[in-house]
Structure 1
């Protein structure tokens, strides 16, 4: 008596006509009808007429179930479908100020990759992309010289060409586009296909690593990071200014010419332009690109002896191990990397309209003492944004008529100067008349304001309402009764001279930073209390030279040394505060570098097992296809399984 029960179950089942079946699905055919006719439920009954409502309903149900199964069943599970489309290519790029040794680091990275058994590596030079663009657009390029020797004029010519190339695109990313062309060309040659095609040059499943030397503008970083996503990592190379200047002098000048004022002037101009073009937005802006790095290296002492893991080769081998997860136990973060990550997290809390800065204060064991952010102070202690329930918010961004108070203060000074010295405008007006040009007073004032803002007036800090991040961290420690003596301060930007004096007074023994801050006068004002990593390197060089002179004198039997040993950097009873650049995994990379994304032990024995792979692909892989194609690979049609 189950026929009535079957009829009731079919009362709500829609019967789709054959001509409305979804495109791409299997049409109901003889096999499906046979399945319906040989169903055990149906076979137990006598044959019903084909026109029977019961027979028609039961056949339709069987066909609907079969169609649903065929249309919706994917060939793979989601994990397999997505992993099939993951690329095995990876893209390293390097950024560093002129003289920092970006090319040296690039070659060292090639060695680290080779040590890891990764042999399909393709060096890509941004200068090649610029030269190719210049040649194709009939522009002059530096001449080829014997031994690949370059002059400082060659470097300036390449700077000019790079600027011109960037200016050809409104987003200043033309050099990045040229780099992508070089990457496509290298991949095409490896695959043996035409590099000039407009079609995609699919990477397939082959492991390739591209090393890009080097980027000079934030737009180049943004473009390549957006394009290659998780498969892109930027290495920032830092070197102290004195060392860079010395390297450039040795590279581009010979003998006594290195010390001439005109040589030093040419090098200083080159370095300033490279760091930040103050006139053109499309110019060299290495400083802005550097702070976007994922991993930081200090190349101030690239020939240093001692523990290899503290220097370039060891650092790059560690980076390669992090990215490619070779068959070794995955590295863990250093205290410095964790502290800088905490500083970065504090930075992101800031609502300051000018810049975001974060700081973290840690003790010798790496325990977090306090954090700080540049933010407007609130009554009762601390800054806005710290309360679990924010009832009022008087930060500049959220006040009526939101405006940066520091800009207002600077503009007031500029207006006061212009109003107080009317001869400036009178002189400009007379000059315009002399040239036979119309004089636009409003435009002249705007030009004066812009020029004055580029002066030290634009570097004034005292009109900001915000407590600086370093000060917020020190005050937070004080409010909770924690000592700041003997602590280390990690800050995302080099401290200004206001903060430096308080850092010294608070007894902090070391400061590490990522982003330089040229406006800071900390070193010139507090040389008696602050030393830098550059000072340590210079002192080590002098000590080494003196030791060599002593040995030479002993060998000659004279016992006389030309120069005395270098003066100690510190008073042992009152050592100076060390300011040095941060090195290691940067905050941008921290989470994906150290997140446990795979099993590391055998589930039964508990023994370390490094053979497993991340089941959903690693954090360093990018899909070769669009997410729309990945969707189709995952679920196919619209039917519900």
Structure 2
């Protein structure tokens, strides 16, 4: 045993945060994880339901019983208000407080045992803001894992109607609000979803196989837990590898708004990669270059947007808004009493700023990642007929038409993109197999959500020795395969109980004792 291992206090606790859009079957996911942790890994499970355990404590007693729509909407309001009054990570701190109380209660009942060595998982149902996830990762470091469950909007809309008795219009209102509110403290499920360590989906597309989707979800959960508990014989699927490569491609983007990456593959072979960046003469996009005279790595002065100092798309959108406002203001001045013009102008200006004009993307200089990958194939005379596109973000409607035209047969995406009109505009050519249309009369381009280990944890969970976790061993000194047992296995990524200040003090004492 290394000297440091003698003083580091490793915890067996796991904190699993669930993310899913409103209407998702997180209850099924919670039940599945609980059963697997208890039966396959000998873990206790404590469930923290944010709505019941935290938000409900801040809801005033209603004058009349609330229906399901009113209750969900009220909880959204309360969550927003708490984030507004305190900070966007406030609910995460409340969750940490509850976990501490659970631990203290268990310790009081088991005074002769060390609570940190208890095999226990805390499942959080559910998180709605990226700041909550960031805070929990800061608090619990390697011990926190985010699971994101994808269910199609159609399935969630149907679930809200059938299981909660909510009207179709009310279900639509909840879904649109949950996707992402404009203010910083609102519902940000879309912004939180793609931060996951592991992605899951629940397909409800075949009523004749009502149990099949849940069995597939259980298999995915079991695989995640086996990876988490350092099963050394689970390696990446090609989908996981290609998706990781798409994220790797995305990090080279210098776009001022977001980083997106794409990979085109066929027969489990990568054909091209792409990222969203500014195109350059003679093909491709800009890269930094080495200045031979100075030895510095530089960017072309007039190349990428950050070198120019502005985002052309945002500038043009603001010009459109200003132009519309000026024209409307002139009409107001001519037709409205003077004392009413000022407040009316302010109202119109705010409406324009929050309108769909802000979603326009056509004035940007950046080539989208999907197009960059497709054009890379074109420059190299590589056919994309029958290929699969792996992309970090659901393609926009502009890219979708080119993806269809290029002969791509499947798109695997990670982050949903609510602004995309791809499915609405190209339902003749695009099929979502998880929504009951897998048996279409004619073949269509398949869009499906990614399932598997997220890019942020790919190296840590799959690499034998390069990650931050325990090194994996697959064979004995005699050359025989080592056996793995989930009921005694420890988490691959250990969570340490001491701060670096405490470790330094203990190291000082250890070194004194060594002398």
TM-score computed with the length of structure 2 as normaliser: 0.88
Is the alpha carbon distance of 1:113 and 1:461 closer, same or farther for their aligned partners in structure 2, counting shifts above 3 Å? Answer: same
For structure 2, list consecutive stretches of 5 or more residues without a partner in the other structure.
292-296, 465-470
Report the alpha carbon displacement of residue 281 of structure 1 after superposing the two structures with TM: 2.1
| Equivalent in the alignment of 2:286 | 384
Report the alpha carbon displacement of residue 633 of structure 1 after superposing the two structures with TM: 2.9
For structure 1, list consecutive stretches of 5 or more residues without a partner in the other structure.
1-75, 195-200, 541-567
| Equivalent in the alignment of 1:163 | 80
SS of the residue 2:10 aligns to: coil
Is the alpha carbon distance of 1:581 and 1:422 closer, same or farther for their aligned partners in structure 2, counting shifts above 3 Å? Answer: same
Is the alpha carbon distance of 1:587 and 1:429 closer, same or farther for their aligned partners in structure 2, counting shifts above 3 Å? Answer: farther
| Equivalent in the alignment of 1:276 | 180
| Equivalent in the alignment of 1:99 | 23
SS of the residue 1:165 aligns to: helix
| Equivalent in the alignment of 1:217 | 129
SS of the residue 2:75 aligns to: helix
Report the alpha carbon displacement of residue 630 of structure 1 after superposing the two structures with TM: 1.9
Partners of 2:29 and 2:14 in 1: CA distance: 17
| Equivalent in the alignment of 2:252 | 349
Report the alpha carbon displacement of residue 425 of structure 1 after superposing the two structures with TM: 5.0
Is the alpha carbon distance of 1:376 and 1:317 closer, same or farther for their aligned partners in structure 2, counting shifts above 3 Å? Answer: same
Q: Deviations over 1:36-75 (max 9, x none)?
A: xxxxxxxxxxxxxxxxxxxxxxxxxxxxxxxxxxxxxxxx
SS of the residue 2:38 aligns to: helix
Contact 2:181 2:188 survives alignment (8 Å): yes
| Equivalent in the alignment of 1:601 | 475
Report the alpha carbon displacement of residue 635 of structure 1 after superposing the two structures with TM: 4.6
| Equivalent in the alignment of 2:322 | 415
Alignment RMSD = 3.0
Contact 2:106 2:115 survives alignment (8 Å): no
| Equivalent in the alignment of 1:43 | none
Is the alpha carbon distance of 1:424 and 1:286 closer, same or farther for their aligned partners in structure 2, counting shifts above 3 Å? Answer: farther
Is the alpha carbon distance of 1:213 and 1:223 closer, same or farther for their aligned partners in structure 2, counting shifts above 3 Å? Answer: same
Task: Give the 5 Å matches for 1:481-520.
Answer: 481-520=381-420
Higher RCO (CA < 8 A, seq sep 6+): 2
Task: Give the 5 Å matches for 1:202-281.
Answer: 203-253=115-165, 263-278=167-182, 280-281=183-184
| Equivalent in the alignment of 1:610 | 483
| Equivalent in the alignment of 2:227 | 322
SS of the residue 1:399 aligns to: helix
Report the alpha carbon displacement of residue 611 of structure 1 after superposing the two structures with TM: 5.9
Contact 2:147 2:197 survives alignment (8 Å): yes
1:176 is the counterpart of 2:92: yes
Report the alpha carbon displacement of residue 579 of structure 1 after superposing the two structures with TM: 0.8
SS of the residue 1:539 aligns to: coil
Q: Residue 190 of structure 1: which of 81, 106, 115 is its match?
A: 106
Report the alpha carbon displacement of residue 398 of structure 1 after superposing the two structures with TM: 3.5
| Equivalent in the alignment of 1:48 | none
| Equivalent in the alignment of 2:440 | 569
Contact 1:493 1:515 survives alignment (8 Å): yes
Is the alpha carbon distance of 1:490 and 1:190 closer, same or farther for their aligned partners in structure 2, counting shifts above 3 Å? Answer: same
Is the alpha carbon distance of 1:521 and 1:204 closer, same or farther for their aligned partners in structure 2, counting shifts above 3 Å? Answer: closer
SS of the residue 1:91 aligns to: strand
Which of the two has higher C-alpha Rg? 1
SS of the residue 1:242 aligns to: helix
Partners of 1:306 and 1:599 in 2: CA distance: 37
Contact 1:142 1:158 survives alignment (8 Å): no
Q: Deviations over 1:198-249 (max 9, x none)?
A: xxx9843222211111111111111111111111111101111111111111
Report the alpha carbon displacement of residue 427 of structure 1 after superposing the two structures with TM: 7.9
Is the alpha carbon distance of 1:424 and 1:121 closer, same or farther for their aligned partners in structure 2, counting shifts above 3 Å? Answer: farther
Contact 2:286 2:304 survives alignment (8 Å): no
Task: Give the 5 Å matches for 1:46-125.
Answer: 77-82=2-7, 84-125=8-49
Contact 2:299 2:307 survives alignment (8 Å): no
